[in-house]
């Protein structure tokens, strides 16, 4: 069997015209112009090696070879002379008007001779393709139109939104919406660059902030995230402002560059007393810039620079400021990175400064050496009243040095915060000795140290002699029932202490019993905090019994003590009795269920003269039934006495 490859170029101008096939010399065409729906016109080709061809004809088409392939299918002849597939070769041509497929079938008789061939051209299922030029144009033209339209739109938006240059340099002739014009001090010409970066919507918001600064005496703009550009915009509202006395720009993303916006402004303002820049990463450079500005300020009395990435260099700049500034009263430098060197610089400043009253250095890295340096500086200081050193890891040795210096302090320390400083019973001894001597101390914080029962015994002994301390915080000090018993004994004859914090100490039911026995008829404690003390239902029973007789405790914190329904029921029985003092009861995290809630609800309904206005039952196991009972009790109290009880679930 021999197959002849066919390369056919058909150019058909109209149906019925002859088909030119340059490679087929003995080809004749019999074209029929029969039109049917979805059916092509066929041309019958004969006299090509005795074979017969049938080709569909289309009007105005050109077929050019683009890809050829062969497929062989068997053809056989049945008894009736009908053809069945034997060998098939087909090629695919690309047509300018349509995509065609040309199928050539060759059939042979049983004896192997060729009888006829049938050519069939069928339409492809693909959609009509486009000529290359038109195809490129279809993409280029829309793309060009899009680019041109985008460019025009961008120019229009730029024209509308870009600030127009001012024709006048005076602040009076400039509209507020056009930015800020500065005339206070050198360096403020940077505002032109910053103002250009602020879009119209941001300016509208900043203008609203500026109105607040001009309208209220106390303005809190913390957390608005307006950054350096916003501070430059708003600073003008502070210059010569005779209304605002307190302003907070905390947590706004202000850096050292933004602090320059206050140059000249703070010198001109003679009313502003409190400036809060906490939570802004101004660093040492920003603090230095601010100190240079505040040297000539005569109004600011409180400066808050908590969490501003302040280190020793910034502390040195503040120390230089304290030597020259005579108006600053409160300085907050909490949660920064000041260590021994910075503490030493500040200590030297206190030898010369006699106006600072409150110093906050919580959460720094002073250590024992820093405490020792600070003690030397405070020996000659007469003005300091509050010293906050929470979380500086000063230890027992640091406490000894510090309290030795404070004992020689010529002023009157009223508040001493030494919480979370790794103080043990040894350090508690030095604290106790200072408490005995002090005639001015009102508030002592030893929270989250480790003085234990031994240290508690020393503090209790000092409290028997001291008659000035009203608040003492001994929470989280590993004090057990033995330690709390001696503290309770100290309260028998002490009517000065009104706030007692003993939370986070494992005093247990026995400790609760010892404390309750004393407070039942003695002392003057108004706020008692016993959260996380492991007192359980048994301890709740002792406290409930104490509440029946005590007439001073107004706030009681019993969170996370495992009271459960039994403990809640004990407290509920006490609430039925008239108690004219208790107004706030915190029972959160106590595994109380609906039965406990029902008992408390009944107690509230039974006591028409109940004075409790705040009841916290959050983080317990109450269902909607327990909550509903408490809600009904709250409504009942309001209907009967017109007193509101706030219940928190």
Does residue 48 register a pLDDT over 80? Answer: no
90-123 pLDDT, tens digit each: 444 444 444 444 444 444 444 444 444 444 444 4
**Local confidence band at 133 (pLDDT 50, 70, 90 cut-offs):** low
Dihedral angle over CA of 388, 391, 393, 399, nearest 10: 30
Which pLDDT does position 569 carry in this prediction? 97
Domain residue limits, the chain: 11-132, 188-292, 538-649
Which pLDDT does position 591 carry in this prediction? 97
3-state DSSP assignment of residue 121: strand
Strand order in the sheet with 87-95: 11-12, 61-70, 87-95, 100-108, 114-123
Main-chain dihedrals φ then ψ at residue 143, nearest 5 degrees: -65, -40
Which pLDDT does position 161 carry in this prediction? 64
Least confident of 183-187, 237-241, 436-440: 183-187
How far is 172 from 178, CA to CA, in rounded Å?
12
Mean pLDDT of 341-363: 96
Which pLDDT does position 239 carry in this prediction? 82
Does residue 57 register a pLDDT over 90? Answer: no
What is the distance, to the nearest Å, from the Cα of residue 475 to the centroid of all Cα atoms in its chain?
Answer: 30
Which pLDDT does position 141 carry in this prediction? 73
Say if strands 28-31 and 41-48 run parallel, antiparallel, or are unpaired.
antiparallel
**Residue 454, burial from CB neighbour count under 10 angstroms (0-12, 13-18, 19+):** middle
Which pLDDT does position 30 carry in this prediction? 38
Structure tokens at 136: 């490129």
Q: Among 499, 442, 502, which Cα is nearest to 466's?
A: 442
Mean pLDDT of 35-62: 43
Strand order in the sheet with 41-48: 28-31, 41-48, 51-57
Say if strands 41-48 and 100-108 run parallel, antiparallel, or are unpaired.
unpaired
How far is 32 from 44, CA to CA, in rounded Å?
8
What is the distance, to the nearest Å, from the Cα of residue 551 to the centroid of all Cα atoms in its chain?
Answer: 44
Does residue 553 register a pLDDT over 90? Answer: yes
Does residue 195 register a pLDDT over 70? Answer: no
Of the ranges 133-137, 296-300, 314-318, the best mean pLDDT one? 314-318
Does residue 563 register a pLDDT over 50? Answer: yes
Mean pLDDT of 485-506: 96
Beta strands in 201-329 (DSSP E): 218-220, 246-248, 274-276, 302-304
Going by the DSSP 8-state scheme, the letter that residue 187 receives in this structure is: T
Query: Cβ distance 528 to 555 under 8 Å?
Result: yes
Maximum distance among all Cα pairs of the chain, rounded to whole angstroms: 136
Which pLDDT does position 4 carry in this prediction? 36
Structure tokens at 548: 């029946």
Say if strands 386-388 and 358-360 run parallel, antiparallel, or are unpaired.
parallel
3-state DSSP assignment of residue 395: helix
How far is 318 from 341, CA to CA, in rounded Å?
13
Query: 188-292 with 538-649: one CATH topology?
Result: yes
How far is 84 from 391, CA to CA, in rounded Å?
98
**DSSP letter for each residue of 539-579:** HHHHHHHHHTT--S--EEE-TTS--HHHHHHHHHHHHTS--
Dihedral angle over CA of 279, 285, 288, 292, nearest 10: -110
Helix (H) or strand (E) holding 138: helix 132-161
Main-chain dihedrals φ then ψ at residue 304, nearest 5 degrees: -110, 115
Which pLDDT does position 463 carry in this prediction? 96
Of the ranges 11-25, 75-89, 321-335, the best mean pLDDT one? 321-335
Mean pLDDT of 506-516: 98
Say if strands 11-12 and 61-70 run parallel, antiparallel, or are unpaired.
antiparallel
How far is 231 from 249, CA to CA, in rounded Å?
8
Q: Is 269 left (phi over 0), alpha (psi -120 to 50) or beta?
A: beta
Which pLDDT does position 132 carry in this prediction? 64
How far is 115 from 108, CA to CA, in rounded Å?
5
- Whole-prediction pTM value? 0.70
How far is 64 from 60, CA to CA, in rounded Å?
13
How far is 20 from 1, CA to CA, in rounded Å?
27
Does residue 77 register a pLDDT over 50? Answer: no
140-184 pLDDT, tens digit each: 778 778 788 887 777 776 666 655 443 333 333 333 333 333 333
**Local confidence band at 209 (pLDDT 50, 70, 90 cut-offs):** confident
**Local confidence band at 137 (pLDDT 50, 70, 90 cut-offs):** low
Does residue 188 register a pLDDT over 90? Answer: no
Least confident of 123-137, 217-231, 530-544: 123-137
Chain-wide mean pLDDT for the chain? Answer: 80
Does residue 7 register a pLDDT over 60? Answer: no
Question: What CATH class is the domain 188-292?
Answer: alpha beta
**DSSP letter for each residue of 37-73:** TTB-EEEEEEEETTEEEEEEE-TTEEEEEEEEEE---
How far is 294 from 267, CA to CA, in rounded Å?
7
* DSSP β-bridge partners for residue 100: 93, 123
Q: What's the fold here for domain 538-649?
A: 3.80.10
Please, what is the Cα angle at 419 between 360 and 301, to 5 degrees? Answer: 15
Query: Cβ distance 444 to 435 under 8 Å?
Result: yes
Does residue 456 register a pLDDT over 50? Answer: yes
Q: Residue written as tokens 């486009």?
A: 130
């Amino acid at each position: 069997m021999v197959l002849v490859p066919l390369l056919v170029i058909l150019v058909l101008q109209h149906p019925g015209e002859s088909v030119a096939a340059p490679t087929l010399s003995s080809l004749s065409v019999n074209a029929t112009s029969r039109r049917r729906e979805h059916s092509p016109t066929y041309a019958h080709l004969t006299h090509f090696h005795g074979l017969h061809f049938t080709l569909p004809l289309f009007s105005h088409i050109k077929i050019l070879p683009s890809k050829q392939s062969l497929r062989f299918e068997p053809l056989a002849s049945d008894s009736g002379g009908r053809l069945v597939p034997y060998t098939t070769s087909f090629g695919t041509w690309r047509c300018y008007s349509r995509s065609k497929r040309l199928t050539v079938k060759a059939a042979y008789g049983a004896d192997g001779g060729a009888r006829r061939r049938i050519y069939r051209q069928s339409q492809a299922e693909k959609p009509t393709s486009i000529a290359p030029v038109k195809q490129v144009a279809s993409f280029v033209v829309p793309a060009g139109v899009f680019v041109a339209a985008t460019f025009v739109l961008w120019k229009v938006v730029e024209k509308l939104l870009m600030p127009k240059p001012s024709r006048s340099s005076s602040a009076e002739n400039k509209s507020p919406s056009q930015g800020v014009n500065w005339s206070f001090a050198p360096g403020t010409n940077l505002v032109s660059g910053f103002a250009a970066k602020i879009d119209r919507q941001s300016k509208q918001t900043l203008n609203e902030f500026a109105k607040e600064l001009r309208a209220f005496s106390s303005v809190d703009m913390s957390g608005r995230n307006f950054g350096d550009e916003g501070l430059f915009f708003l600073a003008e509202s502070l210059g010569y402002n005779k209304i605002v006395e307190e302003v907070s720009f905390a947590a706004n993303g202000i850096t050292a560059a933004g602090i320059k916006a206050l140059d000249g402004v703070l010198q001109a303002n003679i009313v502003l007393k409190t400036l809060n820049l906490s939570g802004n990463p101004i660093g040492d450079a920003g603090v230095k810039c601010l100190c240079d500005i505040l040297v000539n300020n005569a109004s600011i009395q409180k400066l808050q620079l908590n969490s501003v990435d302040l280190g020793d260099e910034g502390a040195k700049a503040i120390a230089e400021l304290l030597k020259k500034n005579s108006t600053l009263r409160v300085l907050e430098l909490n949660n920064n990175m000041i260590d021994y060197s910075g503490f030493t610089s500040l200590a030297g400043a206190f030898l010369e400064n006699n106006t600072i009253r409150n110093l906050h250095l919580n959460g720094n890295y002073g250590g024992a050496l820093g405490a020792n340096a600070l003690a030397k500086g405070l020996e000659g200081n007469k003005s300091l009243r509050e010293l906050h050193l929470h979380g500086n890891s000063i230890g027992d040795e640091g406490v000894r040095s510090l309290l030795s210096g404070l004992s020689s302090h010529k002023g009157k320390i009223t508040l001493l915060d030494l919480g979370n400083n790794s103080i043990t019973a040894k350090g508690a001894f030095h604290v106790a000795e200072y408490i005995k001597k002090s005639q001015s101390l009102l508030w002592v914080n030893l929270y989250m140290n480790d003085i234990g029962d031994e240290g508690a015994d020393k503090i209790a002994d000092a409290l028997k002699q001291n008659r000035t301390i009203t608040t003492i915080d001994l929470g989280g000090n590993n004090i057990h029932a033995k330690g709390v018993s001696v503290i309770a004994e100290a309260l028998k004859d002490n009517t000065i202490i009104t706030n007692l914090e003993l939370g986070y100490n494992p005093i247990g039911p026995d400790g609760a019993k010892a404390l309750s026995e004393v407070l039942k008829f003695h002392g003057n404690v108004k706020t008692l905090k016993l959260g996380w003390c492991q007192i359980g239902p048994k301890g709740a029973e002792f406290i409930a019994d104490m509440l029946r007789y005590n007439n001073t405790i107004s706030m009681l914190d019993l969170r996370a003590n495992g009271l459960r329904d039994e403990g809640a029921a004990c407290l509920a029985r006490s609430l039925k009795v008239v108690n004219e003092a208790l107004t706030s009861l915190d029972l959160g995290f106590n595994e109380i269920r609906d039965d406990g809630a029902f008992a408390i609800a009944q107690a509230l309904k039974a006591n028409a003269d109940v004075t409790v206005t705040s009841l916290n039952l959050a983080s317990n196991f109450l269902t909607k039934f327990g909550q509903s009972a408490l809600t009904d009790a709250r409504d009942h109290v309001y209907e009967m006495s017109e007193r509101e009880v706030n219940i928190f679930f």
